């Protein structure tokens, strides 16, 4: 297969993460975590707009809120904040905090977050000590459903990371990077309960990070230490394709574009990684399509 990897214009990003393709605006939303910046890549303009979230020191995900045009659920430290942004201005404001978690764990923060196919927000925490992120398993994975208390999906999490769903098969895929694997769960879409974990991908040295899925049920796994996105068939664990990148720290993946056939890939330049680290890439020619991403209900 002949695929093509190119950068898109995003400006200077330290830790790109959390890509979310919004069909309505034909835009890719993502974050620069440690700079507390949210970004929007406009497909038609081939241009990226970015905004600092006022008063915050980190942003871990950004998802449009259903029914609230211009409002986004954004992970800000241990809060799920509702942030107002017009997609163009250089600053954005928190209008309310929807949820807070793990108030006793000051060195924990929210990490990856996505809306499940029913609009629940699923997100988990990591231990954010910069030199010792791998020393504890006091993190957790949560489900936030509108009008209901916060539900705990999983405790004993080391480093909560990527997630995606196969709605037809009733499966949920979750990455705890400390386990160096991707687990598949049976997922009840009516209740948001995940059960029966099974490892579908494991790598001896490449740290798995973000993950997405195509229309055929194959998952795409970004590796933070491996220059690579792996395309994997979960039912067999077979690696169908290794997509290579010119930088090491690949953070997350999302299908987008007018036909949902472009794979957008974020990266990090943490610890003085050389260019093009920190770029956001587009991969074309994969012969695969993704699924429309869901807005969150909060």
**Whether residue 38 has pLDDT greater than 90:** yes
128 pLDDT band, cuts 50/70/90, is confident
Residue 297 lies in a domain: no
Closest CA to 4 of 287, 289, 288, 286: 286
Q: How many structural domains is the chain composed of? A: 1
Residue 231 lies in a domain: yes
pLDDT in tens, 3-24: 999 999 999 999 999 999 999 9
Residue 146 lies in a domain: yes
pLDDT in tens, 86-99: 999 999 999 999 99
57 pLDDT band, cuts 50/70/90, is very high
Residue 298 lies in a domain: no
Rounded to whole angstroms, how far apart are CA atoms 293 and 12?
A: 26
Residue 8 lies in a domain: yes
pLDDT in tens, 64-73: 999 999 999 9
* Mean of the per-residue pLDDT values of the chain: 96
CATH value at residue 107 = 2.120.10.30
pLDDT of residue 211: 98
User: Residue 108's domain spans which residues?
Assistant: 4-284
Residue 226 lies in a domain: yes
Residue 182 lies in a domain: yes
Residue 294 lies in a domain: no
246 pLDDT band, cuts 50/70/90, is very high
**Whether residue 129 has pLDDT greater than 90:** no
Mean pLDDT, residues 182-204 taken together: 96
Mean pLDDT, residues 212-231 taken together: 97
pLDDT of residue 198: 97
């Amino acid at each position: 297969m002949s695929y093509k990897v190119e950068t898109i214009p995003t400006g200077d990003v330290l830790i790109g993460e959390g890509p979310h393709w919004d069909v309505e605006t034909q835009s890719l939303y993502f974050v620069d975590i440690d700079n507390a910046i949210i970004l929007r890549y406009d497909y038609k303009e081939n241009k990226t707009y970015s905004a600092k979230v006022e008063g915050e020191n980190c942003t871990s995900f950004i998802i449009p809120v259903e029914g609230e045009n211009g409002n986004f659920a954004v992970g800000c430290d241990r809060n799920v904040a509702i942030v107002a942004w017009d997609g163009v201005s250089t600053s954005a404001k928190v209008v309310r905090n929807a949820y807070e978690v793990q108030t006793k764990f000051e060195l924990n923060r929210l990490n990856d977050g996505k809306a499940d196919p029913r609009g629940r927000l699923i997100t988990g925490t990591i231990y954010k000590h910069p030199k010792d992120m791998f020393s504890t398993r006091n993190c957790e994975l949560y489900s936030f459903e509108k009008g209901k208390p916060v539900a705990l999906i999983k405790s004993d999490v080391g480093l909560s990371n990527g997630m995606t769903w196969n709605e037809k098969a009733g499966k949920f895929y979750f990455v705890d990077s400390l386990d160096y694997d991707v687990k598949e769960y049976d997922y009840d879409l009516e209740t948001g309960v995940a059960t029966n974990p099974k490892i579908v991908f494991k790598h001896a040295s490449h740290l798995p990070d973000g993950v997405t899925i195509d229309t055929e049920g194959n998952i795409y796994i970004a590796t933070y230490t491996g220059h690579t996105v792996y395309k994997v068939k979960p039912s067999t664990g077979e690696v169908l394709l290794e997509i290579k990148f010119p930088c090491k720290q690949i953070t997350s993946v999302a299908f987008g574009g007018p036909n949902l056939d472009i794979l957008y890939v974020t990266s990090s330049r943490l610890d003085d990684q050389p260019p093009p680290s920190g770029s956001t890439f587009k991969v074309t020619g994969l012969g695969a399509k993704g699924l429309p991403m869901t807005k969150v209900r909060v």
